[in-house]
């Protein structure tokens, strides 16, 4: 892993280091594959559904706006946002949970964790330089990818990670911004997608005070519930309200110019970037409603169960016969643990590629 750009030090570059990081992330194969990785709804179920790619773009847009308003480095926030989901498996969180279970059953106590996998993607799995693995990103970007979901102290992280990244300290302000931008993005677009495809109705979420407040603003424009324009305006106003409130709540706590490195704030201290207590409570209640009425919907659960079966059986097949793996991964088997190599291969798959390999391996073509 490299934390400075020594490889191209002699080549003039018109970009700042974080813009260079951003461009390297965007041009990876891992980033392109996000287009066909599930966010919540299976990609091929409909063209309207968000994918990991569109979600990452929405998070980056929100993060950049908040970082600019708070006087932080907007390009660093954008870069962390674009890279934060690179380690996700196919089939959303169910895919990651399934792969974690497979690894632990196979004796690998470290299991699978998507944030750490994102870090591994940019430091090991992407190959762009002959002398070393990874994308050669800056330290601040790497720390943000690793620690944006804070506090981030995991049993599988060695002492080296603590010494280098300070696991008992909050990450940069930009990384904190990305974590909240992620929350804002998925709440709003899951409501949008869920209503669009009839998995939930607007009435399902009206018990929430935050929803009622935004709904009142939308209806003041004489827009009737149930109309497409009402849904569009509701989602837009919800995002705008949450972004504005996050900025206003955090502004006085974020020292300008201190965003890039924030290594003096112990994880036990309150976050400088946060919603006020009342709004944070309403957001938590809204997420609970979505969990119970949307994420547990029969149509979603059945698709996710199919994804779970797919990953379990791919892992089983690759474990039994390593020759089913591509050449690159077979070569890695000679010097790395088999279960981790298999997990890397499966985690990098898109939904449709995983299903294709499942049908191929089990003769279901």
Q: What is the pLDDT of residues 319-356, one digit of tens each?
A: 999 999 999 999 999 999 999 999 999 999 999 999 99
Given this model, what pLDDT does residue 257 score? 52
Question: How far is it, in rounded angstroms, from Cα 130 to Cα 135?
Answer: 11
Confidence of residue 226 (pLDDT cuts 50, 70, 90): confident
Given this model, what pLDDT does residue 13 score? 75
Shortest CA distance to 99 belongs to which of 83, 87, 86? 87
Q: What is the pLDDT of residues 274-293, one digit of tens each?
A: 999 999 999 999 999 999 99
Given this model, what pLDDT does residue 252 score? 85
User: Which of 97-101, 212-216, 227-231 is predicted with the least confidence, judged by mean pLDDT?
Assistant: 227-231
Q: Give 278 or 11, the one with higher predicted confidence.
A: 278
In this prediction, residues 219-235 reach a mean pLDDT of: 88
| Structure tokens given for 233 | 């305006």
Angstrom CA distances, 120 to 115, 126, 127, 191, 209, stand at 9, 9, 11, 31, 40
In this prediction, residues 245-263 reach a mean pLDDT of: 75
Please check the confidence at residue 246 and state whether its pLDDT lies above 50. yes
| Structure tokens given for 121 | 């993607």
Show Cβ contacts of residue 298 under 8 Å, excluding neighbours closer than 6 positions.
Answer: none
Question: How far is it, in rounded angstroms, from Cα 135 to Cα 33?
Answer: 17
Q: Give 120 or 254, the one with higher predicted confidence.
A: 120
Given this model, what pLDDT does residue 1 score? 47
Confidence of residue 271 (pLDDT cuts 50, 70, 90): confident
Please check the confidence at residue 265 and state whether its pLDDT lies above 80. no
Given this model, what pLDDT does residue 330 score? 96
Question: How far is it, in rounded angstroms, from Cα 180 to Cα 109?
Answer: 30
Show Cβ contacts of residue 189 under 8 Å, excluding neighbours closer than 6 positions.
Answer: 39, 50, 54, 55, 58, 235
Residue 161: how many other CB atoms lie within 10 Å: 18
Given this model, what pLDDT does residue 242 score? 98
User: Which of 8-12, 13-17, 266-270, 315-319 is predicted with the least confidence, judged by mean pLDDT?
Assistant: 8-12
If DSSP states are collapsed to H, E and C, what string results for the chain?
CCCCCHHHCCCCCCCCHHHHHHHHHHCCHHHHHHHHCECCCCHHHCCCCCEHHHHHHHHHHHHHHHHHHCCCCHHHHHHHHHHCCCCCCCCHHHHHHHHHHHHHHCCCCCCCCHHHHHHHHHHHHCECCCCCCECCCCHHHHHHHHHCCCCCCCCCCCHHHHHHHCCCECCCHHHHHHHHHHHHHHHHHHHHHHHHCCCCCHHHHCCCHHHHHHHHHHHCCCCCCCCHHHHHHHHHHHHHHHHHHHHHHHHHHCCCCCCCCCCCCECCCCCCCCCCHHHHHHHHHHHHHHHHHHHCCHHHHHHHHHHHHHHHHHHHHHHHCHHHCCHHHHHHCCCCCHHHHHHHHHHCCCHHHHHHHHHHHCCCC
Confidence of residue 96 (pLDDT cuts 50, 70, 90): very high
> Which residues face 51 on adjacent strands?
38
Please check the confidence at residue 55 and state whether its pLDDT lies above 60. yes
Domains, the chain, with CATH or none: 16-361 (1.10.3210.10)
Query: Environment class of residue 47 by beta-carbon count within 10 Å: exposed (0-12), middle (13-18) or buried (19+)?
Result: exposed
Q: Give 106 or 48, the one with higher predicted confidence.
A: 106
Confidence of residue 2 (pLDDT cuts 50, 70, 90): very low
Question: How far is it, in rounded angstroms, from Cα 278 to Cα 298?
Answer: 32
Show Cβ contacts of residue 164 under 8 Å, excluding neighbours closer than 6 positions.
Answer: none
318 Cα distance to chain centroid: 26
Given this model, what pLDDT does residue 253 score? 84
Please check the confidence at residue 43 and state whether its pLDDT lies above 60. no
Total-model pTM: 0.92
Given this model, what pLDDT does residue 46 score? 55
In this prediction, residues 77-103 reach a mean pLDDT of: 95
Report the percent of the chain where pLDDT is more than 70: 92
Ranked by mean pLDDT, which of 61-65, 129-133, 304-308 comes out on top?
61-65
Given this model, what pLDDT does residue 41 score? 65
Residue-averaged pLDDT of the chain: 90
Given this model, what pLDDT does residue 267 score? 76
């Amino acid at each position: 892993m490299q934390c400075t750009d020594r490889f191209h030090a002699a080549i003039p570059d018109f970009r700042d280091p974080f813009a260079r990081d951003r461009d390297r992330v965007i041009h990876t194969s891992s980033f392109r594959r996000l287009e066909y990785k599930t966010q919540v709804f299976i990609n091929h179920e409909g063209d309207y559904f968000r994918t990991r790619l569109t979600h990452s773009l929405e998070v980056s847009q929100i993060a950049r706006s908040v970082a600019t308003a708070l006087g932080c480095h907007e390009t660093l926030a954008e870069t962390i946002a674009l890279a934060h989901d690179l380690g996700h498996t196919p089939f959303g969180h169910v895919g990651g949970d399934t792969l974690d279970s497979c690894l632990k059953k196979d004796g690998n106590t470290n299991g699978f964790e998507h944030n750490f996998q994102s870090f591994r993607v940019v430091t090991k799995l992407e190959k762009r330089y002959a002398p070393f693995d990874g994308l050669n990103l800056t330290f601040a970007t790497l720390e943000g990818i690793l620690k944006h979901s804070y506090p981030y102290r995991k049993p599988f992280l060695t002492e080296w990670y603590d010494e280098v990244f300070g696991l008992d300290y909050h990450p940069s302000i930009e990384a904190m911004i990305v974590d909240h931008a992620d929350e804002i993005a998925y709440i709003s677009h899951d409501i949008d997608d869920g209503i669009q495809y009839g998995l939930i109705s607007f009435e399902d979420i009206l018990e929430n005070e935050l929803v009622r407040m935004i709904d009142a603003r939308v209806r003041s424009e004489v827009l009737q519930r149930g109309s497409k324009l009402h849904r569009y305006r509701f989602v837009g106003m919800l995002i705008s309200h949450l972004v504005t409130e996050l900025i206003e709540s955090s502004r006085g706590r974020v020292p300008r110019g201190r965003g890039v490195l924030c290594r003096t704030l112990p994880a036990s201290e309150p976050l400088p970037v946060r919603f006020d207590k009342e709004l944070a409570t309403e957001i938590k209640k809204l997420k609970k409603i979505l969990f119970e009425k949307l994420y547990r919907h029969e149509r979603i659960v059945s698709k996710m169960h199919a994804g779970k079966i797919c990953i379990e059986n791919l892992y089983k097949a690759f474990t039994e016969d390593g020759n089913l793996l591509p050449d690159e991964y077979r070569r890695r088997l000679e010097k790395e643990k088999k279960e981790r190599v298999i997990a890397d291969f499966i985690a990098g798959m898109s939904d449709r590629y995983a299903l294709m390999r499942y049908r191929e391996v089990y003769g279901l073509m």
